[in-house]
Structure 1
């Protein structure tokens, strides 16, 4: 935990009360099940005015919904606008369960924010650990890959290998899913090979991973760079992981929810997310920004770099976001932390130069990909490091969305296609006529 302040809502209006019917709808259960929750002590009720029925505290109902994974069913339509209680994005800010996400990431580490996202509860000081059998299987699978494979290739293979060691992976109960998530994420990190030149025994020693009880950020650092793991830099990486945990229904998250809708196990859900994340318009975007910043530093100015990209008809990576009118709040938070890291000064200046130069052409603001690029360039990381950070971080978000989706009607994410091919009946196709050699 980064300090003792706890997230929550300040004093406000009178707590909202729900009727039995409203409570049942919010939980996605029958009214009689609501009273079963009361009899088990999971919900408290109060007699409605006039003695007609009971009322329930809305906050208590929402907390039970998060714990149980039960959600009111969304309409059975092909509309991809559906309810979620995880992330809200509005007015150029974003929130996890109603709490400002940048404030959470500024005060708590990645594992603590992941727990908040999954359960709505804080567990200060929690650490995730990888089971020995899963980690060994994942490392063997990753080590067997060709040397040219990227980090997302390795993560996808590691997920599959880890899943084969978990006979309980088909248990979709909330407790089982969360237990698997707490072990899968450090397994993914542990399966990645160390960065070239970083101190490592090659066998996952305490020296490589940062020691027993190390934060996930400290375990990930030597996989990304050979630079020393100094506290200010680790803090930036930890905050980046926490900021990137979720961002509403991004493309990879939608893919993860589709998999969960089919009741795929959590490992398969993560595999679905990783498959989409690799696109250059999603998780891989920070690599493009990394290469651009490196070129700006090499050439001494953003002007020729921006000019060359515009002349070639390419967009400027790391700028603009469809959900924010001004600067991405994740970029703001990371830039502020990077300003406290002396070796990041030149990369930060290059990033600002890109924003200023591009503003002469179009008023675009920095997004999180540019901030990740500033971190990776200044820390001697490879261009794909930002993608690795993104993938590891977002795994927790995919699990959160899977938990929500498991509580919905199965296979509800099944839109109907609008057929535009030839109308039937069409004649049966005939094989091509083969002309033999002439006599």
Structure 2
């Protein structure tokens, strides 16, 4: 497998300085030439693109990408005197070119994430974060073998299993079906990612009463059927979208609710997926970086993220907001519900975020879109009532969990729907962070523990005294 097919890099040795370079008026370099000038491997060039430190342009004819020689030389000078990371501090700082959170706004690769999500779908934003190239209409395809394995594994779970349980099992099954999972080259990782995300979505059971398939389109994307490729990257080129493919949001909708999706509601879901791709170093993303530092394959990296996401203080937060908002709708007002939370000493779900002084920008975008969904009117009014009622006691603003709750309550989704949306969306961000970490020094995330046990040397421990006969112990069974 070459670098060219999956992410557009051409590792050839011929510089693009002829007609294409002359026409543009600038000298263009191939990936290999760029790597040589920077003194790094070609894979690291991709990491610089992922961090936003280099820009790439697809070469004429679509064969690989080229880089501005002047920009490369500036980067070479800058990296030669890179400032060291802080040492001895309480926080471990990561260099990342994916997300910046600053002054109540957040940016993907320097671009306002809210505006980006409003203009481009989830797959487009994910592909751009991974490769630095925007590909309108891009669609991801599930490899047939991986999808079959994931569905079989999920079907074997108990009926009461939650969505996160199913996603965790599905990613393990997909990994087992991919013999190339240990190839950590950027091209192979991207191939895996483009197949993994639709596989996870395709493995989810439809909601009770929902049609078995995406809400629009043909019902199957390239690679989903029996003739699909064993790896997404060996199927259709993601830069050549299939107009019949409904996309991830449309495939996910039937797993969330039996209600049919109108265009406005589906747009909200697609935008939510794009908004939630990344949010700097959340707990699950940190787990991903640690796993990637040990060179775990991309499926294992995503599995690590899902494990951390399942904590009640992370992914489950949206479910609390859902239940609270549904109660507000049922009781006809936020005052008694907010009062119950305050009386019990509980925080009001869906309010406040440690990284924002004002309203969560993700919530602001989704609230605006939800105003165009008639079915969301009562839930949206309830959310605004919660914010205004709680503000009399605690000056907190709405966060994205409350906005997701408006969507889930108004569309008849279960309480765990927000966590499902979060997990699917964040998978793309986890892959972006894994790509960055693979380019770093392996096993660099190895902090030292501060020992607080008894000082050595201690006497050898004595064997425990066996329980008396008839004491009720089951040890001998």
TM-score by length of 1: 0.83
Residue 152 of structure 1 corresponds to 164
Counterparts of 2:77 and 2:269 in 1: how far apart (Å)? 34
Counterparts of 2:399 and 2:65 in 1: how far apart (Å)? 46
Residue 147 of structure 2 corresponds to 135
Matches within 5 A, 1:236-315: 236-315=268-347
Residue 95 of structure 2 corresponds to 83
Matches within 5 A, 1:105-254: 105-200=117-212, 206-207=218-219, 212-254=244-286
CA deviations over 1:371-391 (Å, ceiling 9, x no partner): 000000000101100000000
For residues 436 and 84 of structure 1, do their structure 2 counterparts lie closer, same or farther at Cα, with a shift above 3 Å needed? closer
Report how far residue 311 of structure 1 moved. 1.1
Which of 436, 439, 446 does residue 407 from structure 1 map onto? Answer: 439
- Structure 1 residue runs without a partner (length 5+): 1-22, 35-39, 47-53, 63-70
Counterparts of 2:336 and 2:213 in 1: how far apart (Å)? 43
For residues 196 and 167 of structure 1, do their structure 2 counterparts lie closer, same or farther at Cα, with a shift above 3 Å needed? same
> Do structure 1's residue 342 and structure 2's residue 377 form an aligned pair?
no
Counterparts of 1:290 and 1:433 in 2: how far apart (Å)? 51
Counterparts of 1:388 and 1:41 in 2: how far apart (Å)? 35
Counterparts of 1:123 and 1:292 in 2: how far apart (Å)? 39
Counterparts of 2:436 and 2:246 in 1: how far apart (Å)? 30
Q: What secondary structure, in the 3-state scheme, does the structure 2 residue paired with 1:149 have?
A: coil
- Once structures 1 and 2 are overlaid, which stretch shifts more, 275-284 or 378-387? 275-284
The answer to whether the 8 A contact 1:343-1:378 is kept is: yes
The answer to whether the 8 A contact 1:72-1:408 is kept is: no
For residues 225 and 28 of structure 1, do their structure 2 counterparts lie closer, same or farther at Cα, with a shift above 3 Å needed? farther
Report how far residue 309 of structure 1 moved. 1.2
Q: What secondary structure, in the 3-state scheme, does the structure 1 residue paired with 2:73 have?
A: strand
CA deviations over 1:292-328 (Å, ceiling 9, x no partner): 0110111111111111111111111100000000000
Counterparts of 1:205 and 1:42 in 2: how far apart (Å)? 35
Report how far residue 116 of structure 1 moved. 1.2
For residues 368 and 55 of structure 1, do their structure 2 counterparts lie closer, same or farther at Cα, with a shift above 3 Å needed? closer
CA deviations over 1:257-300 (Å, ceiling 9, x no partner): 00000000000000000001111211111100000011011111
CA deviations over 1:315-350 (Å, ceiling 9, x no partner): 111000000000000000000000000000000011
Residue 29 of structure 1 corresponds to 40
For residues 282 and 60 of structure 1, do their structure 2 counterparts lie closer, same or farther at Cα, with a shift above 3 Å needed? farther
Structure showing greater relative contact order (alpha-carbon pairs closer than 8 Å, 6 or more residues apart) = 1
CA deviations over 1:16-43 (Å, ceiling 9, x no partner): xxxxxxx99x96739xx99xxxxx9965
CA deviations over 1:66-118 (Å, ceiling 9, x no partner): xxxxx999678785112111100001100011000001000000000001111
> Do structure 1's residue 359 and structure 2's residue 391 form an aligned pair?
yes
Residue 73 of structure 2 corresponds to 56
Matches within 5 A, 1:400-439: 400-433=432-465
Counterparts of 1:126 and 1:155 in 2: how far apart (Å)? 23
For residues 167 and 205 of structure 1, do their structure 2 counterparts lie closer, same or farther at Cα, with a shift above 3 Å needed? farther
Matches within 5 A, 1:372-411: 372-411=404-443
TM-score by length of 2: 0.77
Report how far residue 432 of structure 1 moved. 3.3
- Once structures 1 and 2 are overlaid, which stretch shifts more, 104-113 or 426-435? 426-435
The answer to whether the 8 A contact 1:27-1:61 is kept is: no
For residues 368 and 214 of structure 1, do their structure 2 counterparts lie closer, same or farther at Cα, with a shift above 3 Å needed? same
User: Between Structure 1 and Structure 2, how many residues are aligned?
Assistant: 393
Report how far residue 436 of structure 1 moved. 7.4
Report how far residue 214 of structure 1 moved. 1.0
Residue 359 of structure 2 corresponds to 327
Counterparts of 2:83 and 2:429 in 1: how far apart (Å)? 20
Report how far residue 58 of structure 1 moved. 4.2
The answer to whether the 8 A contact 2:217-2:246 is kept is: no
Report how far residue 168 of structure 1 moved. 0.3
The answer to whether the 8 A contact 2:213-2:251 is kept is: no
